[in-house]
Amino acid sequence: MLRCIAFALLVVPRIAHGQPARLVPSGASLTIPNALEGKRVPVWSGNALVVAEGGLTEPNAFLAYDRSGKVVFNAAFSIPGSARTSVRGYARGADGTLALCGSSLASDGRSAPFFAWIPADGGSQEVVRTEPYTPNLITVAPDGTFWTVGRELNSRLSEKDSVNLNAGVLRHFDRSGKTLGAYLPRSGFENPVELGLINGYLAASADRVGWFHYMETTGEGAYVEISRHGELTVYPIPRLPNIKNALQVDGMALTDANDVFVSMRDVGAHSGFSIFWLNRSMKKWLQVAVSPGVTGDAAMLYGASGSELVLRLPDDPPSTLHFFAPKR
């Protein structure tokens, strides 16, 4: 976990007086005309659901659906001359820009990490190489700049040599590829798994960037937040009392109101998921009820649409989404 000054937070079983007590349906459900079985979990960002087409690790095309189910983005992605391109993270900006990050492999197995973006009209893509830094997660800030999470690796995707373990893992780039900021040294993390695609979520709101990361084996994690002024705050999540097997986090949402929600469950219990809301003033994560009650272990939190949360419920097909609003 992070070795830095942080607030000590507790997870408590219910919302305190005067705080959001539940999430309630706020609009009609949405079923997109796209089968999601066998694909990467989609991401709701930039006012649309972004769906990756192609393989789980090598998606080669991306579509985005708005709340009416209309396709508002459709573009292929490839890196010329690459033997294989692994897209790890992707997100849509408020202006419709699609950002991607990952690494391409040459025929000799050497890796070339990158981040890239495609404009809203699906026009010419731009690719920026970032070696030795290899990004795993990406999001688009309202000003069009990019935030990523990753670590420095050599051309063989190893930390064994020629790697700066004090380099920041959370980085801010402009569209030319210039680094605008780097935060949190790699040496502050005991396990690089926390920096990977499977164990983290990255999102941006109008005035901040939030990164949630966790360890499934210990059930511990942290939410890192950076304000538009560059102030960094860490909110750790201690082991949940009801986690007896391994922790699974099924999504994070950062709303336009800067509310942060995280869905978590015990992967071995099959007893349903729980959503927690960050109360910054109380310095606590508070559990939120979902009304009507949601049970089962197949619910997913895809992200935030304005001030609402975008969820897939256990009894629904994977292509059906629901919108929920916090009620105080």
- The domain that contains 243 carries what CATH number? 2.120.10.30
Kindly report which listed range (143-152, 158-167, 249-258) carries the lowest average pLDDT score. 158-167
Q: Look at residue 214 and tell me whether its pLDDT is greater than 70.
A: yes
Are 221 and 235 in contact, with CB atoms under 8 Å apart?
no
Mean pLDDT of all residues in 274-301: 84
Mean pLDDT of all residues in 280-309: 86
pLDDT at 193 (0 to 100): 85
> 17 pLDDT band (50/70/90 cuts)?
very low
Structural domain contains residue 2 = no
The partner residues of 39 in beta bridges, in order of sequence, read none
Mean pLDDT of all residues in 219-244: 83
Q: Look at residue 211 and tell me whether its pLDDT is greater than 70.
A: yes
Q: Look at residue 106 and tell me whether its pLDDT is greater than 90.
A: no
pLDDT at 240 (0 to 100): 63
Q: Look at residue 52 and tell me whether its pLDDT is greater than 90.
A: yes
Picking from 57, 51, 61, the residue whose alpha carbon sits closest to that of residue 92 is 51
Structural domain contains residue 200 = yes
pLDDT at 174 (0 to 100): 96
Structural domain contains residue 22 = yes
Q: Residue 25: which domain range?
A: 11-327
Mean pLDDT of all residues in 89-116: 91
pLDDT at 45 (0 to 100): 95
pLDDT at 90 (0 to 100): 96
Kindly report which listed range (53-57, 75-79, 101-105) carries the lowest average pLDDT score. 53-57
The mean pLDDT value of the chain amounts to 86
Alpha-carbon distance of 215 to 220, in angstroms, equals: 6
Structural domain contains residue 67 = yes
CA–CA distance from 8 to each of 53, 244, 280, 326 (Å)?
41, 22, 12, 25
Structural domain contains residue 100 = yes
**In terms of pLDDT, which residue wins out, 109 or 275?**
275
Structural domain contains residue 277 = yes
Are 266 and 247 in contact, with CB atoms under 8 Å apart?
yes
pLDDT at 6 (0 to 100): 32
Q: What is the pLDDT of residues 28-51, one digit of tens each?
A: 899 999 888 888 889 999 999 999
Structural domain contains residue 5 = no
Structural domain contains residue 4 = no
Q: Look at residue 322 and tell me whether its pLDDT is greater than 90.
A: yes
Domains: count for the chain: 1
Q: What is the pLDDT of residues 180-191, one digit of tens each?
A: 999 999 999 888
pLDDT at 39 (0 to 100): 84
Instruction: Compute the C-alpha angle 12/18/20, nearest 5°.
Output: 65
